[in-house]
Amino acid sequence: MNETHEDQAGSTYDVVVLGAGPVGQNVADRARTAGLTVAVVEHELVGGECSYWACVPSKALLRPVIAVANARRVDGARQAVTGALDTARVFARRDHYVTDWDDSGQAKWVKSIGADLFRGHGRIDGPRRVIVTSDQGARRTLTARHAVAVATGSRPQLPDIPGIQEAHPWTNRLGTDSSTVPGRLAIVGGGGVGAEMATLWQGLGSHVTLLARRNLLPRLEPFVGELLAESLSRSGADVRIGRQVTSLTRPDPAGPVTLTLDDGSQVEADEVMFATGRAPNTHDIGLDTVGLTPGSWLDVDTTCLVNGLAGGWLYALGDVNHRALLTHQGKYQARTAGDAIGARAAGSPVDDAAWGDHATTADQHAVPQVFFTDPEAAAVGLTAEQAAGAGFRIKVVDADFNAAQGADLYADDYQGHARMVVDLDREILLGVTFAGPGVSELLHSATVAVAGQVPLKRLRHAIACFPTVSEIWLFLLAAYRRE
């Protein structure tokens, strides 16, 4: 059951990592760099949800949809893009990026860093011990001298609605690995998954009905969801905000599904997808053997050490700690925690003060996120509502992208909006949000400004090139001065 290198150090390791998604792989790498021996346990595919059913396949599928939408925004190019997407080629492109759901390349990488990979389901069995059970039922005990790092990720959270099981709903799994386009697709949930999946499947030719009980992308500034709802509607999707599903019926599993909504109306579709949030993969990892509650999100300190557990040996990284369910943020936690584990094992000082080498301070102040919708949505830090709620004295500054000539040259009649939230006491940025074509690549400038707490007086000297979409910064800063 194990794919170990020949001189494997028995079944005692410095660090045992549960889950070989992007986060598990990164903490393993960092612990190896610190000179520690590492075992990695994986019960499905090395690479995790991110590589096979989330970030990678969804972005591989979305890219052609967005590329065509952007070409159609440019006169002269528009005339060259007249046909429908070649869905067979789009799915083939996705299959390439998920390596046909074959994880041998990533398994090889785990071994290349000098970690030992154990295939099977990992369960904690008391402090510093993990039992791995293979598909064939063989058990192996792994003991961790210094740390067990839980990076088991999350799975879809389905609401308890009558008829949901019989409806055989899609989740992010079929939403990213299907190679057929349903004629009509109903999507429940308007968060990141629902918004991207609606963009994707409408773009691939489904007629999408998107049912959201609140604004779309409700964690971002409200203008983002409004622009997205308008754009999806323009593309032919039926977007219903403020609606809930009360029941589903699907008498024939191969036939259509009918959703009944809270206003009594019904939606018939060929498939229904639930994108209603995530639950942590902690229900069956032995948390009860160390006094923690199975199925709970794991509460951690700034080094990702689980709070309230004696001995300082259990770390939780990535989706399972519920800080920010994003691959890049989980990998940041993994780099930080891996270094902290290394420092603690060596008896070296741990720098866990704010913005220190062993602190995940950005989790609180500067989480960047991009939704690959049309228009793209990109945000870092706090929204105006969050900043005001946290007690900051703020100024909210807005600008439309079409003020910037660079944006108009990028896309004729560029539709997009930007907002920055200024901390008036320190004159730094607390948050920045962009919505518009191509803004995903603009976000890092805002992330540097927010994480770096760059004074606005200095930001004035960070000049955006003419004529680029980044010129939006000039208009945001000018609006701040004017007001």
* Sites of contact with ligand NAD (CB under 6 A): 159, 188-194, 196, 213-214, 218, 244-245, 275-278, 325-326, 369-372
Using CB under 6 A, count the residues that bind ligand FAD: 37
Q: In the Cβ-directed half-sphere of 467, how many Cα atoms lie within 13 Å? A: 11
Encoded tokens for 6:
């020949």
> Is residue 95 close enough to count as binding ligand FAD by CB under 6 A?
no
For the bound state, the minimum distance from the C-beta of residue 21 to ligand FAD, rounded and expressed in Å, comes to: 2
User: What is the rounded CA–CA span in Å between residue 433 and residue 190?
Assistant: 18
Residue with Cβ nearer ligand FAD (18 or 211)? 18
Residue with Cβ nearer ligand FAD (54 or 142)? 54
User: What is the rounded CA–CA span in Å between residue 280 and residue 466?
Assistant: 46
Residue with Cβ nearer ligand FAD (130 or 407)? 130
Reduced to 3 states, what is the DSSP secondary structure of residue 15? strand
Q: Which of 59, 93, 140, 213 binds ligand FAD (CB under 6 A)?
A: 59
> Is residue 19 close enough to count as binding ligand FAD by CB under 6 A?
yes
User: What is the rounded CA–CA span in Å between residue 151 and residue 23?
Assistant: 6
Residue with Cβ nearer ligand NAD (72 or 214)? 214
> Is residue 41 close enough to count as binding ligand FAD by CB under 6 A?
yes
For the bound state, the minimum distance from the C-beta of residue 402 to ligand NAD, rounded and expressed in Å, comes to: 25
Where do we find the tokens 């989740």? 171
φ/ψ of 248, rounded to 5, equals -135, 145
- Triad 400, 404, 409: Cα angle to 5°: 115
DSSP character string of 254-300? TS-EEEEETTS-EEEESEEEE---EEES-TTS-GGGGTPPTTPPPPB
For the bound state, the minimum distance from the C-beta of residue 191 to ligand NAD, rounded and expressed in Å, comes to: 2
Q: 328 touches which of ligand FAD, ligand NAD, none (CB within 5 to 8 A by kind)? A: ligand FAD
For the bound state, the minimum distance from the C-beta of residue 277 to ligand FAD, rounded and expressed in Å, comes to: 10
- Inter-residue contact 314 to 321 (CB < 8 Å): no
E strand or H helix that includes residue 372:
none
- Inter-residue contact 436 to 401 (CB < 8 Å): yes
Applying CB under 6 A, the span of 148-156, 217-225, 262-270, 352-360 interacting with ligand FAD comes to: 148-156
Reduced to 3 states, what is the DSSP secondary structure of residue 123? strand
Binding mask 290-329 for ligand FAD (x = CB under 6 A): ----------------------------xx-----xxxx-
Which whole-number Å values give the CA distances from 34 to 31, 100, 108, 345, 346, in the listed order? 5, 33, 20, 9, 9
> Is residue 190 close enough to count as binding ligand FAD by CB under 6 A?
no
Q: 183 touches which of ligand NAD, ligand FAD, none (CB within 5 to 8 A by kind)? A: none
Q: 118 touches which of ligand NAD, ligand FAD, none (CB within 5 to 8 A by kind)? A: none
Residue with Cβ nearer ligand FAD (215 or 281)? 281
Q: 49 touches which of ligand FAD, ligand NAD, none (CB within 5 to 8 A by kind)? A: ligand FAD
